[in-house]
Chain A
Amino acid sequence: MSLINKLTLAALALPGLLVEEAQAGRVEELYHTDFQYAHYEESNDRMSVDVFEITAVAPIGKNITASVDLVRDTMSGASPILNTKNAQGKVEQFISGASIYEQRDSMGVSLSYAFDDIDINIGGGVSGEHDYLSRYLSTGASWAFNDKLTTLNISGSVAFDEITPSDQPDVKRSKTSQQYLLGITQILNKNSLLQSNITFAYHKGYLSDPYKLVYVENIGTLADSRPTHKFQWAWLTRYVQSFKTLNKAALHADYRLYIDDWGINAHTLELSWHQPIKDDWLIIPRFRYYTQNSANFYQAVFDSSYTGNIHSSDYRLTGFGTLGVGIKLTKSFHLTGFISEIKLQTAFDYNDRKASYQIGGDSSGSFDDFSFYMLTASINMRF
């Protein structure tokens, strides 16, 4: 294969989906194995999570790529259960105490087949915790056309989840989720490209959280109770621009608009600057901003006249904003032996979630503000 062809194929490798999928007309040419460790920790001695992940990708013949991904999360700490009001009438959050210990194991597999201009893929997996089991299937296709300047992506997935709350071992609840994606990736010019994806998701079944409660003033607590249907719509646009004179640095800018039928609208903006330094070092400073308004049925505390049956005080359904900053360093080693490349990566991200960062201002106050950081380290090997 000529250098030009290799460059062309690499340029066409415009990965847009989280599950690693070959793009149209391209099959992975090398085996590769990636290990990742991450530590996530919230402020105020709330949740902390350790994540171990291994991914292996292998070419099979000329057209097929197979991959397997294994993840183990261990979680411990405390989580908000409900809100109450103190003697001064101020809302206070009640946290569970450091009683939670949980382990999640997940396995996913996928196969993709590359034709000249079209790739198809199928995948599936399972994710299990002591009280939660999720199984999913996915399929997708991508088609490169317009002299391979344009790639059309389409995919669908379905997940079947079962929840068996720890304090109700005889009660099994379930939900099903479907998600569909339609996307286009376009090379705009020799220095920039753009991707735009629209996803629709529909969830049906038990969508409440069995460990959360709501407090009705002067009456007492009720179980969290959400609608049994949810429709979500997201539109993501990603832009990448190369700056040749700055040692081929690249700017990545992502914006996502999200709307669901529980009344939540959200905006996410992510910016990152990928700056190559000498000797295959790369430094990536990044910024993230997120804002959402509250769900129709959310209240921090319900007043004594409340008589409805759809209600939640989950801190993820209120109005808030999150500001995040991070930095990532990567170093690649190109070798001539059995292993052809080793890449080491490490990153640190800090996120501050505050009611006052929300655009729109329908938050219920600062009582559930918190922050979290995430540290990741990974080693990627190509054979």
Chain B
Amino acid sequence: MKPDLMAIGLQTVLLLLLSPLVSGCIKNWKARLQNRRGPRIVQPYFDLIKFLRKDMVISEHASWVFSAAPYVVFITALLVGLMVPMVTTQAPLSLFGGVLAVVGLLALGRFFMALGGLDPASAFGGMGSSREMTIAAIAEPALMLAIFTVAITVGSTDFSHIVAASQSSGWGMLNPTHLMAFAALFIVLLAETGRVPIDNPATHLELTMIHEAMLLEYSGRYLALMEWGASIKQLVLMAILVNIFLPVGLAANGSVAALGLGLAVFLVKILLLSAAVVLVETVNAKLRLFRVPDLLSAAFVLAAMALLSTFLFH
């Protein structure tokens, strides 16, 4: 019973390589829907390489916490990615932690990102940190309750067990409990990845930004790590959603054929979900900050209803 180093290595590479692609697709498709040409799908890769080669400017007010934050954000995103099943039913690191560790590690990354935002003494950073922590605080109960609902029906907080149980239930997955939990998690996904009704990843306008405000003082290598970490986190949250609620095509063993098929199906699922995100972003306007809690409490209520409905359907 020890973690498989090969699997860890492969999934790390997958996370590193696939996550910019997802971000690129979302940006490009969103632009197309808005009748713009938009950046190329592979643009995020070039951006990352460019950032890595640039000199850094660090604020004179910043302390060592500012420099530690990008590493923590990047590493926690990777660790979380290793705990979630992507292509195979068994996550490489499932022994080291399940749902609760994922939520905890994401919170650790956010904690340091918010500190990094406060450190350079700029009002923008403080504003971003304050809003990010607030939104995270109201999104977390909805996230936890939705995951708890799924976990309770399975009796485990281990993603691999949850996915296996979903797989074995077949069409039974399409019960109201799971549909409502999915809806709740989708709203949380939008909040956690800073998508439109909650945050706008495309602007640097002070009134609207949350995530970008915290990154304002980062440049060069640190910015690359922050951006990369954010897209890995986005990929991981999407993987959680698609693999819990649509567990088709996951490779049950380590044969090349199974892995290849698993990867192809995973790509299709992730891109479908990205398309859904693009659609939501295009047809919605950003909410006022103090309307966001309404949306997130709707997610909480959905999750609570999902929980109640377990009484009716089990």
Query: A and B: partners?
Result: no
A interface residues (Cβ-Cβ under 8 A, vs B): none
